[in-house]
Amino acid sequence: MDINYTKSGKVFNQHQYWTKQPLEAIDYFILKYSKEGDLVLDPFCGTGMTGVSGMRLNRNVILSDISKICQHISKGYTCVYDIDETEFNNGLKKVTKDIEEYYVTQCPICENSGKILFSIIEEVYSDEFGITLKQGESLFRKIKQDEPIKTPRGKNIVFDGFELIQLAYKCECSSTKLYKKPDREDLIKYNTKNFVENVLPNDNFFGKEPVRNYKKGIKKVKDLYSNRNLTVLSHLKSRIDLIDNKQIKTLFEFAFTSILFNCSLMSRYRKYENTSIKMGTFYIPPVIKDNNVLKSFSAKVNSIRKSNIELYAKPQLGTVNILGQSASNLKNIATSSIDFIYTDPPYGDILSYSELNLVWESWLSDLSDNTNEMIISKEVGKTENHYFELFEKFLDEASRVLKKDKVLTIIFHHPKIDYWKRLQLILLNSNFTPIIEELPTRLVSGNKTSSQHVTKKNTQTFLAFSFINKKQNQFKVPEIIEEDKLIEIKEKLSSLKMNGSHYQYDVLINKLLPNYLIKSEYMNLII
């Protein structure tokens, strides 16, 4: 069975994250394995989508994650914003007042003031002879006309910085978007350094992914922004910190963190001028769309509030409690108190969440303790053994807190069968027995997630496996597949050849995990 979804929509778009569970899938499993009033747990809660689903379906939900930003995003998603309209509008005006001037430009057509929508920035290099390599306005024109562009490449070129080459703005003299070459006043505003120093994200990047930008001088979180956007973000953050109304503050903080990547130097300028970053990386494009922070923030605040009202319109909602505990030590959750567990643990070495999450956490001045982060990353000393040891502890804790004969649903995927092999060994030593399904239950995305971009997968699928908590070890599989069964599996996979190798792989894993000891050589069954 395939559960199809897209990474878009009012709920999905409220806040970025590297992986996000679709409500369609969570709703399906919560309805299947729990009833109204039940207590549901997600110990790797991520963005808190299990909480969103559970609240709407009148379940009470415990969300937990050691990541500070995951706790923050989960809080933003599961807060029901009951805010007076006047108080909301006054709060928005208060935090944006006076700093709009940073995005004002003089229209060369009518000489009146226009509002900058975004700036277009080019990376500038010099060659081994000291000759500056830049294209300026012609680069912008080529992109608008969908012509191929060439960017400086080679071992001997040196990065010289970023240069403002064009402004997109709105003016009352025109009903359409206008463009202009920056004048002297524009360059002064672009290069401003009027920061609120005490809120700047001064933490150093770490790990593998940020290294790509060190040669560009981007070594701290604050380096990821143009001076203008860093100035405006710092003023905005300092004002949000002073808000007394708890709901407005939660909403504004949620909207603030939601724009931090799209208002960075990671935002790509492309022909259609939509805003996007290369998810799961710190990739900085050769041509940058430097978005207006206040425009982005105001739009996000309003869209989140509107979506929240629609999302929680039901008269009877469940509750959500957010914890900051490791899935390997759920000490604040009572034994045999949970009715259903739905979770999406990290997929081994696919993404290093803590490296990527640093941007948000540095702005919030609330860094995670990543000692027990369940990932594989040699750069930060987290081995395969570290990952699977924590996975084993998670299953022990899951069995402890989950009632007997209740269900744990795990969403997982990895392109290497050896990861499934090790996962199966841990499951074989656990108190869980699998619910066997003839065909895989797959979460199928219409567009790629961060983990799928990283692994270069052509399909966008994740596998769902459900297990019954027996409170004792009962799960056994034969070490060898009998010849007739092996032929049967091979014939089944062969019949699915037209569905593609990725689907064959999913069917193979679905067949092996609950029934037979997984061996690397079984990959040869896929023809």
Average pLDDT over residues 412-436: 96
Which 3 state secondary structure label does DSSP give 413? coil
Q: What does DSSP say about strands 158-170 and 287-291: parallel, antiparallel, or unpaired?
A: unpaired
With cut-offs at 50, 70 and 90, classify the pLDDT of residue 165: very high
Which 3 state secondary structure label does DSSP give 508? helix
CA angle 18, 22, 23 (to 5 degrees): 140
Distance CA(4)–CA(444), nearest Å, equals: 5
Q: What is the mean pLDDT of the chain?
A: 92
Which 3 state secondary structure label does DSSP give 313? coil
Say how many residues make up the chain.
527
Give pLDDT tens digits for 204-228. 999 889 999 999 999 999 999 999 9
Distance CA(239)–CA(291), nearest Å, equals: 20
Give pLDDT tens digits for 187-205. 999 999 999 999 999 999 9
Distance CA(78)–CA(64), nearest Å, equals: 13
By C-alpha distance, which of 502, 425, 123, 449 is closest to 278?
449
Burial of 447 (0-12, 13-18, 19+ CB in 10 A): exposed
By C-alpha distance, which of 400, 373, 404 is closest to 389?
373
Average pLDDT over residues 274-285: 91
Angle between helices 353-364 and 246-258 (to 10 degrees): 130
Residue 417 predicted with pLDDT over 60? yes
pLDDT > 70: what percent of the chain?
97
With cut-offs at 50, 70 and 90, classify the pLDDT of residue 382: confident
pLDDT value of residue 459: 43
Distance CA(295)–CA(96), nearest Å, equals: 10
CB under 8 Å to 140, separation ≥6 — which residues?
120, 165, 166, 179, 269, 287
This prediction's pTM = 0.91
Residue 392 predicted with pLDDT over 70? yes
Which residue in this structure is represented by tokens 């002879």? 129
Least confident of 117-131, 189-203, 227-241, 369-383: 369-383
Contact status, residue 273 vs residue 282, Cβ threshold 8 Å: no
pLDDT value of residue 458: 40
Give pLDDT tens digits for 31-72. 999 999 999 999 999 999 999 999 999 999 999 999 999 999
Give pLDDT tens digits for 439-486. 999 999 876 544 444 444 444 699 999 999 999 999 999 999 999 999
Distance CA(408)–CA(385), nearest Å, equals: 23
Average pLDDT over residues 324-353: 92
Distance CA(289)–CA(267), nearest Å, equals: 5
**111 φ/ψ sector (left φ>0, alpha ψ -120 to 50, else beta):** left
Q: pLDDT higher for 351 or 78?
A: 78
pLDDT value of residue 331: 95
pLDDT value of residue 48: 96
> Which amino acid is located at 52 in the chain?
V
C-alpha separations of 173 from 167, 182, 214, 327 in Å: 16, 18, 43, 58
Angle between helices 417-428 and 501-515 (to 10 degrees): 20
